[in-house]
Amino acid sequence: MDDPAAPLSNNQPAPRTPSSSSSQLNPPPAVPRTPQALQSLAPSRHIDRMINSNHHQSPSRTIYSDRFIPSRSGSNFALFDISNTPAEGRDDSSSAYATLLRAALFGPDAAGVVPPATPEKRNLIQMNPPSPNIFRFKTETRRSMHSLSPFGFDDVVTGVHHSPVKAPRKVPRSPYKVLDAPALQDDFYLNLVDWSSHNVLAVGLGNCVYLWNACSSKVTKLCDLGIDDSVCSVGWAQRGTHLAVGTSNGKVQIWDASRCRRIRTMEGHRLRIGALAWSSSMLSSGSRDKSILQRDIRAQEDFVSKLSGHKSEVCGLKWSYDNRELASGGNDNRLFVWNQHSTQPVLKYCEHTAAVKAIAWSPHLHGLLASGGGTADRCIRFWNTTTNSHLSCMDTGSQVCNLVWSKNVNELVSTHGYSQNQIIVWRYPTMSKLATLTGHTYRVLYLAISPDGQTIVTGAGDETLRFWNVFPSPKSQNTESEIGASSLGRTVIR
């Protein structure tokens, strides 16, 4: 719209309105026009255009509009359907939406639409003008991003329930218990710690195996292999009290831990056995002789099949949770996946550039496999064995020694060696760090998880076992772990 305060041009006729006569708007040329008359006529024509929708435009001049900002007192909020009472015949969803929209537009304290300012309110505002410093910082205006959404006003909007934003879970940075473990070897290729389903920890120290009951803190010496042999790996059966012990002489001993009695000894390997993995009654053993032997403890034979494929020592073995796939890692930087019936790997992954000892199957997603590389690699890689695809890679900055997945949440723990000797709790799949735990002064070569899935134990060449609470309890459990404050302190395992 043209500026209404500007004088009208003499060579164009003024707009004609029904309320004014032609003699007033277009006087004869002989009648002089005074400036006062023009000033009084111009505002009247402007107001007439604003309030009269039937005014006629001049046929000789086009009127262009700029923008129109009405007075708030003339606004009709009913057009936006945000009145206090919902319209009749409107469903509940529209009413709830109108309530949310009103809260978003006018704030959580608005019970309804703010009415236009009355003359009394105008006088009150004139008597108490607001502070001129309109950009002054106020702490109450600092809100989180989710509070800016209409769905953030839980106290105003009734009938709409929203789950609160969870605060980041805090992981204790210190171990709640430390066990001295003399003669715990500093050897990357061994697996000397495992935690049973009956809450008993088995630890290989030198040529002996010790059992530590996590409920009673009782220590039991299970076996002594003698001066000519040493323990290279230990592995609990998935159920029961049977413990497999791999020795430096290439033999596997099966022990009944409840009676501290050896059941049988199985041969087949020529060199030390550094990796063991159970699948029901099937026991897999990986050796420095590059082979993997499949043993059925119900059969008379020492082994039922031999898996060949690695070109160096086998240092990592893990069965999937459905007992259909076996993952193996070796000092040849290879990660292989075998099925129940093959003697050759069905999947081969060669992306790692160092020994693969750390292997973990996800209990949450079928076919999801994690693996970690040694000092020259330092990466955790994720694989989908169902589609035979490489999913992602994370450089941890240190040698990856072990991996274990939480059964309760979609998180995993990695332990590391050169050069930071740290323990990291990761959230998958973002691989964001929840916590970095330090305390070991040597490589964290050994890792096991408690049967309730909340606690991990780590072992290192500094001859200590450290217990950490890193994972939350299952949603179905409201009780604390059996390993409680009564276990605090530092004791010796042998």
Instruction: Give residue 340's pLDDT.
Output: 86
Cα 387 versus chain centre, distance: 24
| pLDDT exceeds cutoff 90 at 412 | yes
Q: How many Cα atoms within 13 Å fall on the side-chain side of residue 55?
A: 19
| pLDDT exceeds cutoff 80 at 354 | yes
Give the number of residues written for the chain: 494
Delimit the domains of the chain by residue range: 177-473
**Mean per-residue pLDDT for 139-156?**
45
Instruction: Give residue 341's pLDDT.
Output: 85
Which of these, 233, 221, 156, 237, lies nearest to 192 by C-alpha position? 233
Residue-wise pLDDT for 251-285, tens only, equals 999 999 999 999 999 999 999 999 999 998 999 99
Full DSSP string of 234-274: EEE-SSSSEEEEEETTS-EEEEETTTTEEEEEE---SS-EE
Which of these, 397, 348, 338, 389, lies nearest to 372 by C-alpha position? 397
Using CA atoms, how far apart are residues 346 and 334, in angstroms rounded to an integer?
Answer: 13
Q: Confidence class of residue 429 from pLDDT cuts 50, 70 and 90?
A: very high
**Buried/exposed code over 55-80 (b: 16+ C-beta within 10 A; e: otherwise):** eeeeeeeeeeeeeeeeeeeeeebeee
| pLDDT exceeds cutoff 50 at 445 | yes
How many Å is the maximal CA-CA distance in the chain? Answer: 135
Residue-wise pLDDT for 228-259, tens only, equals 999 999 999 999 899 999 999 999 999 999 99
Name the burial class of residue 139, with classes exposed (0-12), middle (13-18) and buried (19+) by CB atoms within 10 angstroms of its CB: exposed
| pLDDT exceeds cutoff 60 at 288 | yes
| pLDDT exceeds cutoff 50 at 4 | no
Residue-wise pLDDT for 455-476, tens only, equals 999 999 999 999 999 999 887 4
Instruction: Give residue 268's pLDDT.
Output: 96
Which of these, 270, 309, 260, 301, lies nearest to 283 by C-alpha position? 301
* Cβ neighbours for 435, distance < 8 A, ≥ 6 positions apart: 171, 173, 424, 425, 470
Q: Which superfamily does CATH assign the domain made up of 177-473 to? A: YVTN repeat-like/Quinoprotein amine dehydrogenase (2.130.10.10)
Instruction: Give residue 327's pLDDT.
Output: 98
Q: Confidence class of residue 494 from pLDDT cuts 50, 70 and 90?
A: confident
Residue-wise pLDDT for 84-109, tens only, equals 444 444 455 677 788 878 777 776 65
- Average pLDDT across the chain, whole number: 79
Instruction: Give residue 33's pLDDT.
Output: 47
Full DSSP string of 46-87: HHHHHH-TT----TT-PPPP------GGG--GGGGT--SSPP
Full DSSP string of 95-113: HHHHHHHHHHHH-TT-SSP
Report the share of the chain in percent with pLDDT over 90.
59
Instruction: Name the one residue in this structure whose structure tokens are 């969870």.
Output: 166
In 10 A of CB 351, how many CB atoms? 16
Element (H, E) at 211: strand 208-213
Report the share of the chain in percent with pLDDT over 70.
66
Among 7-16, 140-149, 308-317, the range with the most confident prediction by mean pLDDT is 308-317
Using CA atoms, how far apart are residues 86 and 95, in angstroms rounded to an integer?
Answer: 6
| pLDDT exceeds cutoff 90 at 434 | yes
Single pTM value for the model? 0.67
Give SS3 for 201.
strand
More confident residue, 119 or 296: 296
